[in-house]
Amino acid sequence: MTETQITRKDALLYGGAAAGGLVVGGAAIAAVAVAVDNKKPPVEGAPIVAPYVEGDLPTSDPAARAWKGADRTYVALAPQQIAQPFLEKAGITSLDARALHNGAQVALLLEWDDDSVDDLDGIRRYHDAVAVQLPTRSGAPPALTMGAPGSPVHILQWRATWQRDIDSGGNTGVDQIYPAVVHDVMPDDVLPPKTAQLYWVGREAGNPLSQNVRSSPVEEVVAEGFGSVTHLPNQAAVGHGVNDDGRWRVVIAIPSARDGVGEPLAPGSSWPVAFAVWLGSEENRGGRKHIANWQTLQLEGK
Contact 119/161 with Cβ under 8 angstroms? Answer: yes
- Which of 49, 66, 140, 200 contacts another protein by CB under 8 A? 200
Which among 62-70, 117-125, 134-142, 250-258 is the span making contact with another protein, rule CB under 8 A? 117-125
Measured from the CB atom, is 9 or 183 closer to another protein?
A: 183
Residues near 201 by Cβ (< 8 Å), separated by ≥ 6?
none
Under rule CB under 8 A, how many of the chain's residues touch another protein?
A: 40
Q: Where are the beta strands (DSSP E) in 18-152?
A: 43-44, 48-50, 73-76, 78-79, 94-101, 105-113, 129-135
Contact 77/292 with Cβ under 8 angstroms? Answer: yes
- Which of 16, 20, 69, 85 contacts another protein by CB under 8 A? 85
| H or E element in which residue 219 lies | strand 218-223
- Which of 17, 92, 166, 229 contacts another protein by CB under 8 A? 229
- Which of 10, 113, 167, 188 contacts another protein by CB under 8 A? 188
Measured from the CB atom, is 18 or 123 closer to another protein?
A: 123
The C-alpha atoms of residue 126 and residue 236 are separated, in whole angstroms, by: 25
Helices (H) and strands (E) in the chain, counts: 6, 15
Question: Is 213 among the residues that bind another protein (CB under 8 A)?
Answer: no
**Ranges within 273-292 binding another protein (CB under 8 A):** 283, 285-288
Shortest Cβ 45–another protein spacing (Å): 28
- Which of 52, 138, 214, 226 contacts another protein by CB under 8 A? 226
171 burial level (CB within 10 Å; 0-12, 13-18, 19+): exposed
The C-alpha atoms of residue 210 and residue 204 are separated, in whole angstroms, by: 8
Measured from the CB atom, is 57 or 130 closer to another protein?
A: 130
How far is residue 18 from each of residues 91, 138, 146, measured CA to CA in Å?
32, 11, 18
Measured from the CB atom, is 227 or 268 closer to another protein?
A: 227
Which among 25-33, 194-202, 232-240, 242-250 is the span making contact with another protein, rule CB under 8 A? 194-202
Instruction: Give me the residues that bind another protein (CB under 8 A), please.
Output: 81, 83-86, 88, 121-126, 161, 173-174, 177, 181, 183, 186-188, 199-203, 205-207, 209-210, 212, 226-227, 229, 283, 285-288
